[in-house]
Amino acid sequence: MDRAKRGGCLNDLNINTGTILFQVAPNTLEYDDNKVGVFINELLPDGVIQVIKDRDNLLKFDIIPFASKHIHLGVNISDLSSNEAHDFAFTWDTKKTEVKIYVDGTSVAGAKWNMGTIE
């Protein structure tokens, strides 16, 4: 689907720094069903950014620059209630070597890395 038709929310994604946030409405996603769900799989000129719920009920955030190492962070979301809306945010800054995941406004996972390797 064309980005303009999706509302243009991903038009300015940058592989080096940014923030993605979205809300999942009540009763639209089972967080503990062991099924895969793709929220974002965006090909950029210099890499790929993905947000995926995997079969282990982990919400995975991946930054895959073409010129350096893959940055990966995940958090278990199986305890979230499907009957409530949930806000998700993902921030990254390759110059500060930081990546974070927020659920409902609370930081739930974060990492710093050195030379492209997560610490």
Residue 45 to residue 41: CA distance in whole angstroms? 13
Q: How confident is the model at residue 97 (pLDDT cuts 50, 70, 90)?
A: confident
- CATH code assigned to 17-118: 2.60.120.200
| pTM greater than 0.85 (yes/no) | no
Two tokens, residue 65: 């620059």
**Whole-number pLDDT of residue 9:** 53
Dihedral of CA atoms 33, 36, 40, 44 in degrees, nearest 10, equals: 160
Domain positions in the chain: 17-118
Whether 4 shows a pLDDT value over 60: the answer reads: no
Whether 10 shows a pLDDT value over 80: the answer reads: no
pLDDT in tens, 51-81: 999 999 999 999 988 887 788 899 999 999 9
SS (H, E, C) the chain: CCCCCCCCCCCCCCCCEEEEEEEECCCCCCCCCCCCEEEEEEEECCEEEEEEECCCCEEEEEEEECCCCCEEEEEECCCCCCCCCEEEEEEEECCCCEEEEEECCEEEEEEEEECCEEC
